[in-house]
């Protein structure tokens, strides 16, 4: 009965603002659970450096124009996904098709020339036509007259004395063979022109080299492009990586397949990343080495996002630091703080300096706390210094 009157009188004082209440759970009269208070423990924490990097796709290409012309077709826009071997950008190829028809006509002409040269060679081989006598062979008379009269006369004519009929025939065969070879060479050149034009026609189509997503579209339908001009950026975003620049003195402590803690700049997501590739050459100006790490699937990350990698620093020895639960940290603006429980079971707000996160739910403390002190693990949003951790009677 006395306690009831005491509480009623205390409530009247509070309602008139004569007493400032600084009690938390004691106001409800409920006993605080011992699980809300923990003792700060000390543990060996290795040194590490935090390096910032960017999230990059596992595979990324920039499709560029190979021929000059006007863009006639673009398959989609940023964010659209495609399977492999799909046409992404097409450039007008009407002029190339016209050149191909001309080259094909030239190829047909050379084919006819080859057939004619082959026929002339065969005729010379099986039916020699001597060119030692000018004009019509036999002067229009039978070949018998050529054999007994015209040919002997030709042999004694000035310039033809001592002629060799067999040598003349070989020269005629060689001449016909040369014409055949020239015709075949022209056909090969015409075929090469057609193949060159076909290659350019294929280059007029930019095809997806693998399943992926359009990251950025750099041209629009109707734009005129020149060889080498970028058309769009295309990447496979199924698998993501983190790319960081590591100081050369720390690369020696890293190896392929090593698991390193990382933090994504979205929702404070923490995870372990696996070292996938360490570049063999350092940058000559910044003296850093590029390192790529595989990120686990399912994290809310995208190309270009900021990521932090905690690279181990084995050049300095591990030190003993207090460890506290992350849930015990209260943020006052940009300053971290915790509620320390004093010997009189009162809470005291204390600013601390945090170190690296250890695991998924613990963080090291550089200054502000020491091992053996008790802290609140889940302080309420409106809690202030001086609150009691016990029960109000």
Collapse the DSSP code of 34 into the 3-class scheme (helix H, G, I; strand E, B; otherwise coil) and give the result: helix
Three-state SS string across 72-109, please?
Answer: EEECCCCCCEECCCCEEEEECCHHHHHHHHHHHHHHHH
Rounded CA-CA distance 38/355 in Å is 19
Q: Which of 162, 166, 94 is nearest to 130 (CA)?
A: 166
- The residues with which 207 forms a beta bridge, in sequence order, are 87
Q: Which of 50, 93, 103 is nearest to 244 (CA)?
A: 50
Evaluate the CA torsion angle 40, 46, 50, 55 in order and state its sign.
negative
Alpha-carbon distances, residue 204 vs 7, 14, 74, 199, 235 (angstroms): 87, 82, 12, 9, 20
Angle of helix 165-203 versus helix 94-126 axis, rounded to 10: 160
Output the tens digit of pLDDT for each of the chain's 393 residues. 444 444 443 343 333 333 333 333 333 333 334 448 888 887 766 667 888 999 999 999 999 999 999 999 999 999 999 998 899 999 999 999 999 999 999 999 999 999 988 888 888 888 776 554 444 444 444 554 455 455 555 555 555 544 577 777 778 788 888 888 999 999 999 999 999 999 999 999 999 999 999 999 999 999 999 999 999 999 998 899 999 999 988 888 888 999 998 888 777 788 889 999 999 999 888 889 999 999 998 888 888 899 999 888 776 666 677 888 888 888 887 788 898 988 877 888 888 888 777 766 778 888 888 888 888 888 876 666 666 555 433
**Furthest-apart CA atoms within the chain: distance in Å:** 163
- The residues with which 74 forms a beta bridge, in sequence order, are 89
Task: Show the CA angle centred on residue 143, arms to residues 139 and 146, nearest 5°.
Answer: 60
Q: Which of 238, 236, 231, 230 is nearest to 87 (CA)?
A: 231
């Amino acid at each position: 009965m006395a306690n009831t009157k005491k509480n009623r009188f205390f409530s009247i004082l509070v309602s008139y603002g004569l007493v400032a209440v600084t009690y938390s759970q004691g106001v409800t009269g409920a006993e605080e659970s011992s699980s809300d208070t923990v003792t700060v423990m000390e543990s060996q924490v290795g040194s590490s450096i935090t390096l910032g990097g960017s999230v990059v796709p596992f595979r990324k290409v920039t499709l560029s124009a190979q021929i000059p012309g006007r863009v006639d077709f673009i398959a989609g826009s940023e964010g659209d996904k495609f399977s492999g071997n799909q046409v992404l950008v097409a450039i007008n190829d009407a002029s190339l098709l016209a050149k191909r028809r001309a080259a094909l006509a030239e190829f047909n002409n050379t084919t006819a020339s080859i057939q004619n040269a082959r026929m002339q060679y065969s005729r010379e081989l099986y039916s020699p036509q001597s060119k030692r006598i000018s004009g019509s062979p036999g002067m229009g008379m039978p070949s018998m007259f050529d054999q007994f009269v015209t040919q002997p006369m030709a042999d004694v004519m000035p310039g033809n004395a001592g002629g060799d009929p067999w040598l003349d025939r070989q020269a005629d065969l060689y001449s016909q063979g040369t014409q055949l070879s020239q015709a075949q060479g022209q056909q090969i050149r015409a075929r090469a022109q057609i193949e060159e034009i076909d290659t350019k026609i294929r280059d007029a189509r930019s095809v997806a080299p693998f399943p992926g997503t359009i990251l950025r579209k750099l041209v629009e339908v109707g734009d005129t492009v020149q060889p080498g001009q970028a058309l769009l950026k295309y990447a496979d975003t199924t698998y993501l990586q983190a790319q960081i620049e590591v100081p050369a003195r720390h690369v020696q402590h890293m190896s392929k397949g090593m698991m390193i803690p990382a933090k994504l700049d979205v929702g404070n997501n923490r995870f372990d990343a696996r070292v996938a590739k360490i570049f063999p050459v350092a940058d000559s100006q910044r003296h850093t080495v590029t390192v790529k790490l595989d990120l686990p699937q399912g994290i809310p990350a995208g190309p270009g996002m900021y990521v932090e990698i905690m690279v181990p620093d084995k050049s300095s020895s591990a030190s003993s630091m207090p460890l506290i639960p992350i849930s015990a940290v209260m943020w006052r603006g940009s300053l971290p703080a915790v509620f320390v429980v004093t010997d009189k079971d009162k809470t005291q707000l204390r600013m601390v300096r945090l170190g690296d996160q250890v695991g998924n739910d613990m963080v090291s403390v550089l200054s502000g706390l020491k091992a053996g002190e008790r802290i609140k693990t889940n302080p309420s949003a409106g809690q202030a210094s001086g609150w009691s951790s016990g029960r109000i009677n």
